[in-house]
Structure 1
Amino acid sequence: MERLLDEAGAGSRRLRHALMLLCDGQWWTLADLVRETATARRTIEALLRELPLEDKAGAFRVPLTDTPAYQGLFAVAPPPEDPVGHLIPHYSHALERLTALIAGAPRARHVLDHVSATPETVLRRALLLGARFWLPGARLLCVGDHDLTSLAVKLVHPETDVTVVDIDERILAYIDEQRLGVRTRWADLRLGLPASAKDHDLALTDPPYTPEGTGLFVARALEGLTDDGRVLLAYGASERTPMLAFKVQQALSDLNLTYEAIYPDFNRYFGAEAIGSAADLYILRPTSKTRPAVTSLLSRQPATAIYTQGPQSVESHQDAPEPAATGVFGPGGFDPDLLVGDWPKDLPQPRVKLTTWLAKPYAAAADRVAVALPPGLEAALPRVLLATRAGHVRVLGPALPAVPGVLTAVYELSTASGALDAVRVPQPDGDAAAVLRKILDNGHAKLANTWREALIALARAQGTTLTKNEARTLIREAAPWAEGLTPLEAPAHRLSDLQEAVSTTVSALTGTT
């Protein structure tokens, strides 16, 4: 044991802390030792191999009769990673609620690099935000929120305005179910940040731990900030692989940020044992050179591969083939007026990037559109269809998902040979159906504004008058979540709620007028 500690040198503090825990008489699982000491699993395994251990149902300890031999090797105190630990006893009610919320949250998706933070970690993030910044009235953007930090902030600082952007529809729905006043927006950050997720004071993100993933998530967080904002970043690497940390920090340096603070091992996780089930917490501040650097990074064609595992991992896409020209438009001799996405260069049709297609309406009218949806971006399919008024859209891509039922108000949908055909249906009969169609036909516009004008026009057609304020009140009562939201930004569950909410406002129209 002395030889192992000597080889670790100054870095042996983590091992000495683990040794102390194993000698304290309690039973420790490997996962608990890793998380408690923030030490890589392989390092803890090397320690365990050198010790005489008792084993009880997968938990370990040094026999009590042997512990005196190790007293002189202990590191009694862990590293000082917790600047707000003294506040936690005052928020036991919040910790209890967060424990239940995290236990009931949707299961982690490994293809999105999900690893759940502990309830204590999420609470401490909220406490640290309140300790370093004035939160009453402040606007916080959570760039991805599988950890549910947004809910922790609203429990501890309910006066904070909190917005979550996330690709995982399950997380967005779960956050909304809690009714804590968190604003939710769907976003695949490789394709853009929602327009309504700008001008925040603070942003927090726990991104995929690749240089590509961390660089993209932090760039999007910066895009959503005011010039004097701050980004809080959770990032961790094993003490065995400093070069990985260097590459990620190099990606941060390319964004011309200053480091206001780094709290070591601040974040703890259920899993991620290769990095000690822990990650540091960075506080990053933009400089006058940051915005040009962000613009430069985001102007480049975004890579699909930003994760550490699964089909969207960096390694799985290193040898991805170029798109082929053979049979690119699918079955039936489809002849498009416009191409969206990545197509062979020798095709003659005009084309537009997928990011541009989703960010703003296409200037020219196109009746037949072909969209190439690459692997990993399938969740954008409903937004791709809502982004246009074309008569016929054909989307090609592997494993295209089901489309929310509300889109049948706009399209007749069919699938064949890896292609989805969406053919626009005629304008519907019925007042509620017409209002719904008006909203969905304006995918880039603010949903509540289109809805308001459609109700006013409906009242006028009925020979009555409806003011803007009266229309806003009807919408707010039926769908308080609709303000500032566009159909392209709307989570799937909000799109599904839209039909009933529209019907409610139309039914209430006669009484209001």
Structure 2
Amino acid sequence: MERDGVERLLAGAGADSRRLRHALALLCEGRWWTLAELVRQSATSRRTVESLLREVVLERDGDRFRVALVDTPSYQDLLAVAAPPEDPVAHLLPHYAHVLDRLTALVAKAPRARHVLDHVSATPETVLRRALLLGARFWLPGARLLCVGDHDLTSLAVKLVHPETDVTVVDVDERVLAYIDEQRLGVRTRWADLRLGLPASARDHDLALTDPPYTPEGIGLFVARAVEGLKDDGRVLLAYGASERTPMLAFKVQQELSELNLVYEAIYPDFNRYFGAEAIGSAADLYLLRPTTKTRPAVQSRLTRQTTAIYTHGPQSVESTSEAKASSGGSGSPLSGRPASEVVGPAGFEDALAGFDADLLVGDWPKGLSQPRVRLSTWLAKPYAAAPQRVAVAVPPGLEAALPRLLLATRAAHVRLVGTALPPLPKALSPVYEVNEAGEGILDAVRRPQPEGEADTVLRRIMDNSHAKLANTWREALIAVAAAQGTSLTKNEARSLIREAADWSDDLTPLDAPLHRLSSLREAVTRTITALTTTT
């Protein structure tokens, strides 16, 4: 058999031909492969695998292929003689076949990946092995784990394997948060756009795990937020992969990690496998990182220069925002990296504020405007000191998911929202705001009058205090209802009624709550009012 091309390819790769030899060994096993399967199994980039396939004589069956069994002896002296680096938890997998079956079903039914969020689904085996590695490396009973983004559903794997672990997920994707809650495995869910901040209820964890967008900007942001969510002696587990052809990309990412003054306790090569991401071999390493005494100051410094461009696709990709900024002569918004005219939509700044005498500007507005202003992140982090009645909010492209929270963060009578693709107001906010279009890319949200009726009054009080803990506001409102009825209700009695109606309500604020929780809030409030009446 002619094999000169294979030999030249292997010789050219030198010591790094180990990947190619492993892929060749897989082709010679007698098993049929698709390109995606071979890429994932060998953890080798698609381009590198394709270079091998061009030199090997294959037999084919549709989109599947292999080296013919009669030809495999010709390649035996070229094959890798050792297995890939040992999987530290491979020996545990046979004991968790039932968990793998459950995870396989959960991953299959999970919300579809969103291209603009750089979603690529990890395999069920990967999320199970993450849970097993956590348990092999750390003592998990009673430990607190924070999943910084969790499209892969690692949180569910951890609860299935280590049910005594306290697990919290923060994510910008409402579908992911709702799906995790539907499984009722005891995972806490919090909404957060990490470019704008980390919820206060997502702090003080022992461990954090993240599989972020694979850009230096995305890695830097997600790891910085993971550190924010840790105790001083915590650890961060990071999934990150790059093609063997592009070591400079990995170098830039590792520079981001170095700037955060993190210690590399371990790197598990090719630990994570994916459905897709063939450009990086459908695989990623798993980093185990430990903060030092210099990490938190570095994190704060990193977050002060945060932009929203962290993805590889969509309106907030690093490439598209860089091109847009360059085309505008560098006059982009500090927050978004987009030209100022794009941040506020086609109407432009002057038209957006025409006929609207704003007391306060939120977000990125031109310096020439005289009104006081506040950053989006500050707006969400704490109540504004004054009480403005008319607020204008610039919503940058890619941050539209924050719109409900930007509205909840104020009690202003009239809020004007300005952006390029503003979504409709979710029904969960309809008890508070009436919204109308005021022009292209402009929405006017007018605060509704205070409602009548006990349940509606309690619900509105909760929504009006969006920076406060939801359960605390609910408790005080229930006590007030009881007093109006001529009865007394202790704080402990009120807490008990709330936990029975909404066991998810502890510690989070309305700003942190996923929309599906806010949507179910009126029904839960009504249950506590009914229970209060029955009890008293």
TM-score band, normalised by shorter chain: over 0.9
Query: Contact 2:146 / 2:169 at 8 angstroms: preserved in 1?
Result: yes
Partner of 2:491: 468
Query: Contact 2:428 / 2:515 at 8 angstroms: preserved in 1?
Result: no
C-alpha separation in 1, matches of 2:418 and 2:37: 46
- 2:194 corresponds to which of 189, 193, 214: 189
Partner of 2:310: 306
Higher alpha-carbon deviation: 194-203 or 62-71 = 62-71
What CA RMSD, in Å, does the superposition of the two structures yield over aligned residues? 1.1
Partner of 2:336: none
Query: Contact 1:266 / 1:279 at 8 angstroms: preserved in 2?
Result: yes
Unmatched segments (≥5 aa) in structure 2: 1-5, 326-331, 333-338
Deviation of 1:76 (Å): 3.8
Partner of 2:370: 348
Partner of 2:413: 391
Per-residue CA distance 1:38-95 (angstroms, 9 max, x = gap): 0000000000000111111101111111111101001143321410000000001100
- Structure 1 residue 493 corresponds to structure 2 residue 528: no
Partner of 1:288: 293
Query: Contact 1:37 / 1:78 at 8 angstroms: preserved in 2?
Result: no
Partner of 1:336: 358
C-alpha separation in 1, matches of 2:83 and 2:422: 49
Secondary structure of the 1:395 match is strand
C-alpha separation in 1, matches of 2:535 and 2:508: 24
- Structure 1 residue 66 corresponds to structure 2 residue 67: no
C-alpha separation in 2, matches of 1:107 and 1:453: 40
C-alpha separation in 2, matches of 1:217 and 1:374: 20
Partner of 1:378: 400
Partner of 1:275: 280
Query: Contact 1:81 / 1:264 at 8 angstroms: preserved in 2?
Result: no
What is the TM-score of this pair, normalised by structure 2? 0.94
Partner of 2:335: none
- Structure 1 residue 110 corresponds to structure 2 residue 115: yes
Partner of 2:328: none
Partner of 1:434: 457
Query: Contact 1:470 / 1:512 at 8 angstroms: preserved in 2?
Result: no
Query: Contact 1:110 / 1:309 at 8 angstroms: preserved in 2?
Result: yes
Query: Contact 1:172 / 1:184 at 8 angstroms: preserved in 2?
Result: yes
Per-residue CA distance 1:279-307 (angstroms, 9 max, x = gap): 0000000000000000111123x311100
Deviation of 1:399 (Å): 1.1
Partner of 1:121: 126
- Structure 1 residue 358 corresponds to structure 2 residue 363: no
Deviation of 1:487 (Å): 0.2
Partner of 2:389: 367
Secondary structure of the 1:369 match is strand
Per-residue CA distance 1:315-338 (angstroms, 9 max, x = gap): 010123432595445275111000
C-alpha separation in 1, matches of 2:259 and 2:535: 56
Query: Contact 1:31 / 1:273 at 8 angstroms: preserved in 2?
Result: yes
Higher alpha-carbon deviation: 174-183 or 81-90 = 81-90
Partner of 1:163: 168
Partner of 1:510: 533
Query: Contact 1:373 / 1:397 at 8 angstroms: preserved in 2?
Result: yes
C-alpha separation in 2, matches of 1:249 and 1:458: 56
Deviation of 1:413 (Å): 1.1
Which residue identity is paired with 1:422? A
- 2:427 corresponds to which of 392, 399, 405: 405
Query: Contact 1:337 / 1:366 at 8 angstroms: preserved in 2?
Result: yes
- 2:320 corresponds to which of 309, 316, 319: 316
What is the TM-score of this pair, normalised by structure 1? 0.98
C-alpha separation in 2, matches of 1:410 and 1:311: 30
Secondary structure of the 1:31 match is helix
C-alpha separation in 2, matches of 1:21 and 1:211: 33
Secondary structure of the 1:480 match is coil
Partner of 2:259: 254
Partner of 2:471: 448
Partner of 2:82: 77
Secondary structure of the 2:352 match is coil
C-alpha separation in 1, matches of 2:79 and 2:512: 53
Higher alpha-carbon deviation: 72-81 or 165-174 = 72-81
Query: Contact 1:339 / 1:371 at 8 angstroms: preserved in 2?
Result: yes
Partner of 2:329: none
C-alpha separation in 2, matches of 1:328 and 1:275: 46
Per-residue CA distance 1:431-486 (angstroms, 9 max, x = gap): 10000000000000000000000000110011100111111111101110111110
Per-residue CA distance 1:92-140 (angstroms, 9 max, x = gap): 1100000000000000011101000011110000000000000000000
Deviation of 1:312 (Å): 1.3
Deviation of 1:161 (Å): 0.0
Deviation of 1:426 (Å): 1.1
Partner of 2:32: 27
Deviation of 1:252 (Å): 0.3
Higher alpha-carbon deviation: 92-101 or 59-68 = 59-68
- 2:54 corresponds to which of 44, 49, 56: 49
- 2:481 corresponds to which of 443, 458, 462: 458
- Structure 1 residue 172 corresponds to structure 2 residue 177: yes
- 1:210 corresponds to which of 200, 203, 215: 215
Partner of 1:136: 141
- 1:18 corresponds to which of 11, 16, 23: 23
Secondary structure of the 1:28 match is coil
Deviation of 1:24 (Å): 1.1
Query: Contact 1:236 / 1:279 at 8 angstroms: preserved in 2?
Result: yes
Per-residue CA distance 1:395-453 (angstroms, 9 max, x = gap): 10111112221212111111232111111111101110000000000000000000000
Aligned length: 512
Per-residue CA distance 1:157-201 (angstroms, 9 max, x = gap): 000000000000000000000000000000000000001000000
Query: Contact 1:436 / 1:502 at 8 angstroms: preserved in 2?
Result: yes
Partner of 2:3: none
Deviation of 1:310 (Å): 1.6
Which residue identity is paired with 2:319? E
Secondary structure of the 1:481 match is coil
Unmatched segments (≥5 aa) in structure 1: none
Secondary structure of the 1:229 match is strand
C-alpha separation in 2, matches of 1:260 and 1:329: 54
C-alpha separation in 2, matches of 1:272 and 1:256: 29
Secondary structure of the 2:520 match is helix
Secondary structure of the 2:201 match is coil
